[in-house]
A = this chain, B = another copy of it.
Amino acid sequence: MAHPYSGLLTDLYELTMAAGYVQTGFQARATFELFVREMPPHRSYLVAAGLEQALDYLEQVHFAADEIAYLRRHPAFAHVGEAFFRYLEQFRFTGDVWAMPEGSIFFPSEPLLRVTAPIAEAQILETYLLATLNYQSLVATKAARIVTAACGRRVIDFGTRRAHGIEAGVLAARAAYIGGCDGTSNVAAGHRFGIPTYGTQAHSWVMAYDREEEAFRRFQEVFPEHAILLVDTYDVRAAVEKIIASGRKPRGIRLDSGDLVADSQWARQRLRQVGWEDVQIFASGNLDEYRIAALLERGAEIDGFGVGTALVTSEDAPSLGVVYKLVEVEAEEERRLAAKFSDAKTTYPGRKQVFRFRDARGEFYQDLIALEGEQPAGGEPLLVPVMRGGRRLHPSSPLVELRERCADARQHLPAALRQLEAAGTYPVRYSQQLEALQQAVRQRYRGGVEEKQQKAAPTRRG
């Protein structure tokens, strides 16, 4: 298995381009911005997550000797000179990074992360940064929707088994917690990130005993305070009656199939009849924000939800269209602004900042994407410096703070965007300076006037 900070955790073209930059002596500092092109279906806002893992990688990325040996043998590098392999031996990330803190709410086109570094370095890191911020932001966003639908009831991530590999399960647990879930079933995530972990029992426990009541009794003996008994292995109502007949009050019961509305209402009534008002009713089984909203609307008596597949795969929108685009190159005492003009994928040039505007109650009403040096009155800048010269500027924030940031931001979203099916789109505008600059850069290419570099007057170093 490769080491977790391997420089090979990238696309081949990042390395061939890096070899090209090294070999041709192109040593410019470049700025890349990472953003989402379009809002995925059904979403009206996005939640930033994954920065911590991205920074961990940036601080520790390197190429081991056997990894460089592998590249030396690779046919693509047959004509690449020794200088590139020596470059890889010394490779460390030395750049500067600005980013939105995790738990921030953001929108398409807004830079979520900005890297300024020698161009070969910044290029090699593209793939890792995209994969890391893409996935955790995807899950944090889905979690925020599910938590909204649950209207204050507990939501626990149960998704590891359906995640895209075990490591995705661990990362999903982290992102789901930032997005608002109350905990996870994933024990490694609990150990690694300090997330509260929860669990009940599986059908296999019940099936392993000859009698269901014996399975319940045994479990309650071992877990006198924490037993949440799974009641749908054979027959939900018969199982609840067995628990009541035993006289041993469990902490809760879990329904995993069947008619969750009717069964939960029936169970609540029976539990109340015997004075067990505080026995909690949990539900799981192919739940998502839509099914949770429908269950609650129909009067289901459920205190908490276990959500799995839909959460960790972001089932209805399993990817974000994240991109990492070159916006500026500084070479030979000059700065040149870069933008791409192929149809429908226009990129704005220059280093940017995102400003958020709030009304008197603190509710956001507009974001402005501007050039770094601009200072629009009343705008709160969202990108903050997180790394300089390849080193973190701040210690990591506790995860619970990131989760609170997200909860607070969700509270201050326009009400129409907090609904599962948003009415309207949040306004994100570009500054006039940025629009003018984009026109100027576009002219340069469209007009065929490519000879002359354009000085970047409106920007300053970050």
The docked-state distance in angstroms from the alpha carbon of A119 to that of B218 is 15
A311-333 vs B, Cβ < 8 Å mask (1 yes, 0 no): 01111001110101110010000
The docked-state distance in angstroms from the alpha carbon of A445 to that of B233 is 11
Q: Which residues of B contact A190 (CB under 8 A)?
A: 8, 12, 70, 74
Q: Is A76 an interface residue (CB 8 A)?
A: yes
Q: A160 to nearest B CB, angstroms?
A: 5
Q: Copies per complex? A: 2
Contacting residues of chain A (387-442) with chain B, CB-CB under 8 angstroms: none
B131–A161 CB distance below 8 A: yes
B26, B233, B257, B319: which contacts A208 (Cβ < 8 A)?
B26
Q: Which residues of B contact A359 (CB under 8 A)?
A: none
Q: Is A116 an interface residue (CB 8 A)?
A: no
Q: Is A67 an interface residue (CB 8 A)?
A: yes
A342–B134 CB distance below 8 A: no
Q: Is A130 an interface residue (CB 8 A)?
A: yes
The interface stretch among A103-111, A167-175, A371-379 is: A167-175
B170, B211, B322: which contacts A450 (Cβ < 8 A)?
B211
Q: Is A123 an interface residue (CB 8 A)?
A: yes
Q: A36 to nearest B CB, angstroms?
A: 11
Q: Is A192 an interface residue (CB 8 A)?
A: yes
Q: Which residues of B contact A450 (CB under 8 A)?
A: 210-212
In the complex with contacts A167-B168, A204-B326, A233-B341, A162-B319 CB distance below 8 A: yes
B20, B132, B187, B318: which contacts A10 (Cβ < 8 A)?
B187
A24–B222 CB distance below 8 A: yes
Residue of B nearest to A316 (CB): B318
In the complex with contacts A20-B205, A338-B208, A342-B232, A164-B161 CB distance below 8 A: no
Binding site for B on A (CB under 8 A): 1-2, 4, 6, 8-17, 19-21, 23-24, 26, 28, 30, 32, 66-67, 70-71, 74-76, 78-80, 119, 123, 126-128, 130-132, 134-136, 138, 158, 160-172, 185-188, 190-192, 197-205, 207-208, 210-212, 218-219, 221-226, 232-236, 256-258, 309, 312-315, 318-320, 322, 324-326, 329, 336, 338-345, 445, 450-451, 453
Q: List 17 A-B contacts (CB under 8 A).
A: A8-B191, A12-B197, A12-B198, A17-B202, A74-B190, A79-B223, A119-B208, A127-B186, A128-B166, A131-B162, A131-B168, A162-B319, A203-B326, A204-B338, A210-B450, A257-B342, A257-B343
